[in-house]
């Protein structure tokens, strides 16, 4: 494997954004394929996800890795688009109506991007109508809903119920501090994951 | 026994006439308890319900820090806040951290809104303490914190990343955050004497699933600071009630080494926080406060679920004493009053197996 690609993977793993950017620039200037750069980046984030799930690293380490990934993507993304390389799967994601908390949702978003998902992030305080419009517009494989507060769990339930009425082939996954597998099943979601790394695995499973 | 005697005997692992029961709640829950009891006064309400309330002594900042040109308010540290609604709840959401764009430690000198420890209303705190004593309630204050305040001022994601990428900046800001609150704590310790029972220190060190920051980062940035506050409190004969939400199991030995006396709120659904195991491993070194599950049982469970939950807390965290049952953090808006009463009555009626 090319030295600059190794450097890129290592920089993502360690959360070194400057090195991530310079290694990406070097690789592209050397004429390496954008796909190979993307693969090096995904390999780094995949490792971060694994270590996070194993409790070897924690949210801060994931955040700096994602920040480094973003620096690389800033250079890579226009070239991927120009080359017609598109993610295979897409997800619409948002924090449910009444809830403004987005650290967990943002972590999931970053890890999904790191796993080469196209992510349509609707932000916070998202209504059933906004989710439904996004489903119609983007035709995603998965819709992801997040909630932190016990007081917004009822909103998650009603949004899932509205989304399940739509005639489209997407799956719904939910997460957030007070959410459990039991609650997910009870409200009619297709999946639940307790952390951001598992959320990526779940999304991949739901797309398969 | 008075509530204060009951709480102190529990702390000192001495006999009590019954197990104490404390409560934390949101403003909405206070309103529903007012309707239930017919008491408009908070302390009279606790008294009527037989709650052994550890009364908060929180200092209000006197200096006006809101900018009249902006339709926003700021907290004590100059962090913008706004009121938001979430389902049945209303709370204050933090805006962009005022230190978010700072890069060098020297820039902290120019931050205009560091609070002045002498500009809090200590006279009002003293009145509140005196009133608590009239009811026989113990007291708790001030609310001081290192990393939580830093997270508000810097923005949470920035603050978390600083534990890895900007350790010098983090230390410089924490120095200031610590020094200001050490001055507040000293005033409490010197001026309130016997009217203050417990010092409250908060720093959430767990997420729902794991520890919030790495152990080396904790040991470098936070543990020595916590120890300084514990030492100062102990030098004045006060016990420290320390609060950390979440899966904080890996930090408990460090917290005990730093000198905490009481651990709150024991979010036992989080990995590593299982009640019997915590009691087995740390029950002889620390008193537990909290425990009664507040993400499922209290807000959404039946009265019977709450009774069972409270009973299990008493039998595990409370095995052999050393436990002050309380809702695990503030009871949230929409929680049925019957569930709250079930929690209170189960604790009050608890007969330990001899």
Q: Can you tell me the ipTM of this complex?
A: 0.92
Mean residue pLDDT across chain A: 96
Task: Give how many domains chain B has, as a whole number.
Answer: 1
Q: Could you read off the pLDDT of B243-255 as tens digits, one per residue?
A: 999 999 999 999 9
pLDDT, residue B65, reads 54
Mention every residue, 6+ apart, whose C-beta is less than 8 A from residue A130.
A94, A122
Q: Which residue of A has its CA nearest to B331?
A: A150
Q: Report percent pLDDT > 70 for chain B.
A: 97
Residues of the domain holding B151: 3-65+99-348
Token duo for residue B75: 């907290």
Peptide bond into A93 cis (omega under 30): no
Residue B292 near residue B327, CB atoms below 8 Å: yes
pLDDT, residue B72, reads 63
Parts of chain A belonging to CATH 3.40.50.280:
89-207
Q: Which residue of A has its CA nearest to B333?
A: A151
pLDDT, residue A122, reads 98
pLDDT, residue B91, reads 87
Q: Could you read off the pLDDT of B150-171 as tens digits, one per residue?
A: 999 999 999 999 999 999 999 9
Residue B255 within any structural domain of the chain:
yes
Q: Determine contact: B215 vs chain A, CB below 8 A.
A: no
Which of these CATH numbers, 2.102.10.10, 3.30.420.40, 3.40.50.300, 3.40.50.280, describes A89-207? 3.40.50.280
Q: Determine contact: B164 vs chain A, CB below 8 A.
A: yes
Q: Could you read off the pLDDT of A193-203 as tens digits, one per residue?
A: 999 999 999 99
List beta partners, residue B239.
Answer: B198
- Residue among A60, A100, A178 whose CB faces B160 most closely: A60
pLDDT, residue B133, reads 97
Binned at pLDDT 50, 70 and 90, residue B67 comes out as low
Kindly list the residues from chain B whose CB atom is less than 8 angstroms away from the CB atom of residue A58. Answer: 207, 210-214
State the Cα–Cα distance between residues A157 and A147, nearest whole angstrom.
11
Residue B83 within any structural domain of the chain:
no
pLDDT, residue A2, reads 85
Q: From the CB of residue A161, how many other CB atoms can be counted at a distance below 10 Å? A: 12
Binned at pLDDT 50, 70 and 90, residue B268 comes out as very high
Token duo for residue B125: 């705190």
Q: Is the pLDDT of residue B70 over 80?
A: no
Mean pLDDT over residues B317-323, rounded? 96
Mean pLDDT over residues A66-81, rounded? 96
Q: Could you read off the pLDDT of B136-151 as tens digits, one per residue?
A: 999 999 999 999 999 9
Q: Determine contact: B334 vs chain A, CB below 8 A.
A: yes
pTM of the model: 0.94
Residue B80 within any structural domain of the chain:
no
Residue B162 near residue B169, CB atoms below 8 Å: yes
Kindly list the distances between the CA atom of residue B164 and the CA atoms of A66, B153, B171, B216, B221, in Å, as whole numbers in the listed order: 13, 18, 12, 10, 11
Give A162 to chain B, closest Cα distance, Å: 18
Do the Cβ atoms of B164 and A60 come within 8 Å?
yes
Q: From the CB of residue A185, how many other CB atoms can be counted at a distance below 10 Å? A: 12
State CA B310 to chain mean position distance: 20
pLDDT, residue B88, reads 86
Q: Is the pLDDT of residue B354 over 80?
A: no
Q: Could you read off the pLDDT of B282-301 as tens digits, one per residue?
A: 999 999 999 999 999 999 99
Residue B294 within any structural domain of the chain:
yes
B15-41 burial, b for 16+ CB within 10 Å, e for fewer? ebeebbbbbbbbebbeebbeeebebee
Scan for tokens 């050393």, then name that residue: B322
pLDDT, residue B270, reads 97
- Report the half-sphere exposure of B27 (CA within 13 A, side-chain side): 6
Binned at pLDDT 50, 70 and 90, residue A106 comes out as very high
Task: Enter the CATH code of domain A3-82.
Answer: 1.10.1240.10
Q: From the CB of residue A207, how many other CB atoms can be counted at a distance below 10 Å? A: 16
Query: What's the CATH code of the domain at B321?
Result: 3.20.20.210
Q: Report percent pLDDT > 90 for chain B.
A: 91
State the Cα–Cα distance between residues B318 and B219, nearest whole angstrom.
30
Q: Determine contact: A102 vs chain B, CB below 8 A.
A: no
State the Cα–Cα distance between residues B251 and B207, nearest whole angstrom.
12
Q: Is the pLDDT of residue B92 over 90?
A: no
In which region does residue B105 sit, left (phi positive, over 0), alpha (psi from -120 to 50) or beta (all else)? Answer: alpha
Mean residue pLDDT across chain B: 95
Residue B143 within any structural domain of the chain:
yes
Give the relative orientation of helices A17-29 and A34-53 as an angle to the nearest 10 degrees: 150
Give φ, ψ of B200 to 5 degrees: -105, 120
Residue B86 within any structural domain of the chain:
no
pLDDT, residue B310, reads 98
Q: Could you read off the pLDDT of B18-36 as tens digits, one per residue?
A: 999 999 999 999 999 999 9
pLDDT, residue B73, reads 82
State the Cα–Cα distance between residues A49 and A52, nearest whole angstrom.
5
> How would you class A54 by CB atoms within 10 Å of its CB: exposed for 0-12, middle for 13-18, buried for 19 or more?
exposed
Q: Is the pLDDT of residue A89 over 90?
A: yes
Give A204 to chain B, closest Cα distance, Å: 21
Q: From the CB of residue A184, how many other CB atoms can be counted at a distance below 10 Å? A: 21
Parts of chain A belonging to CATH 1.10.1240.10:
3-82
Residue B79 within any structural domain of the chain:
no
Mean pLDDT over residues B183-187, rounded? 98
- Residue among A60, A149, A180 whose CB faces B213 most closely: A60
Indicate which of B209, B250, B297, B305 best probes the interface with A, i.e. most A CBs within 10 Å of its own CB: B209
Binned at pLDDT 50, 70 and 90, residue A31 comes out as very high
pLDDT, residue A149, reads 93
Q: Is the pLDDT of residue B71 over 60?
A: no
Residue A113 near residue A200, CB atoms below 8 Å: no
- Report the half-sphere exposure of B62 (CA within 13 A, side-chain side): 10
Q: Report percent pLDDT > 70 for chain A.
A: 100
Q: Could you read off the pLDDT of A158-184 as tens digits, one per residue?
A: 999 999 999 999 999 999 999 999 999
Q: Is the pLDDT of residue B117 over 80?
A: yes
Q: Report percent pLDDT > 90 for chain A.
A: 98
Indicate which of A13, A109, A124, A177 best probes the interface with B, i.e. most B CBs within 10 Å of its own CB: A177
Q: Between A95 and A1, whose confidence is greater?
A: A95
Mean pLDDT over residues A101-128, rounded? 95
Q: Is the pLDDT of residue B305 over 90?
A: yes
Q: Could you read off the pLDDT of A124-165 as tens digits, one per residue?
A: 999 999 999 999 999 999 999 999 999 999 999 999 999 999
């Amino acid at each position: 494997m090319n030295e600059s690609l190794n450097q890129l993977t290592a920089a993502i793993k360690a959360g070194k954004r400057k090195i991530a950017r310079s290694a990406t620039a070097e690789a592209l200037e050397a004429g390496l394929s954008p796909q190979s750069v993307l693969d090096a980046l995904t390999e780094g984030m995949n490792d971060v996800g694994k270590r996070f799930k194993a409790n070897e690293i924690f949210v801060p380490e994931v955040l700096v890795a994602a920040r480094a990934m973003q620096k690389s993507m800033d250079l890579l993304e226009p070239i991927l688009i120009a080359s017609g390389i598109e993610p295979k799967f897409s997800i619409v994601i948002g924090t449910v109506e009444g809830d403004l908390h987005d650290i967990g949702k943002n972590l999931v978003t970053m890890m999904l991007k790191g796993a080469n998902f196209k992510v349509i992030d609707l932000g916070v305080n998202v209504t059933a109508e906004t989710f439904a419009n996004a489903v119609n517009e983007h035709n995603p494989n998965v819709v992801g809903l997040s909630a932190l507060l016990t007081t917004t769990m009822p909103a998650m339930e009603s949004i899932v119920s509205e989304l399940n009425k739509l005639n489209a082939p997407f799956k719904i996954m939910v997460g957030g501090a007070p959410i459990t597998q039991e609650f997910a099943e009870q409200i009619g979601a297709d999946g639940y994951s307790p952390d951001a790394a598992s959320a990526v695995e779940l999304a991949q499973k739901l797309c398969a | 026994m008075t509530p204060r005697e009951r709480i102190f005997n529990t702390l000192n692992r001495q006999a009590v006439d019954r197990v104490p029961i404390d409560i934390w709640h949101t403003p909405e829950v206070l309103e529903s308890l007012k309707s239930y009891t017919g008491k408009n006064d908070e302390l009279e309400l606790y008294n009527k319900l037989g709650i052994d309330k550890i009364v908060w002594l929180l200092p209000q900042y006197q200096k006006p820090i809101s900018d009249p040109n902006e339709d926003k308010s700021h907290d004590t540290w100059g962090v913008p806040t706004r009121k938001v609604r979430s389902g049945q709840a209303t709370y204050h959401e933090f805006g962009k951290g005022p230190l978010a764009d700072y890069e060098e430690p020297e820039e902290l000198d120019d931050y205009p809104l560091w609070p002045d420890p002498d500009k809090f209303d200590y006279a009002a705190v003293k009145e509140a303490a005196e009133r608590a004593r009239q009811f026989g309630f113990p007291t708790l204050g001030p609310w001081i914190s290192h990393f939580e305040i830093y997270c508000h001022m810097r923005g949470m994601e920035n603050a978390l990343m600083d534990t890895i990428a900007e350790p010098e900046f983090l230390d410089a800001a924490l120095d200031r955050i610590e020094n200001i609150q050490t001055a507040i704590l000293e005033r409490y310790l010197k001026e309130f004497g016997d009217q203050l029972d417990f010092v409250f220190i908060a720093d959430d060190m767990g997420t729902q699933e794991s520890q919030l920051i790495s152990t080396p980062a904790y040991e470098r940035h936070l543990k020595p600071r916590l120890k300084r506050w514990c030492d100062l409190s102990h030098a004045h004969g006060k016990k420290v009630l320390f609060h950390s939400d979440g899966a904080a199991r890996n930090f408990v030995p460090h917290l005990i080494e730093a000198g905490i006396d009481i651990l709150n709120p024991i979010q036992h659904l989080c990995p590593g926080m299982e009640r019997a195991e915590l009691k087995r491993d740390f029950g002889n070194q620390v008193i537990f406060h909290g425990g009664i599950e507040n993400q499922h049982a209290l807000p959404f469970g039946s009265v019977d679920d709450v009774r069972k939950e409270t009973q299990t807390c008493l039998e595990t965290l409370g095995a052999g004493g050393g436990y002050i049952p309380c809702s695990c953090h503030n009871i949230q808006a929409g929680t049925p009053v019957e569930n709250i009463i079930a929690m209170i009555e189960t604790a009050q009626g608890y007969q330990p197996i001899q």
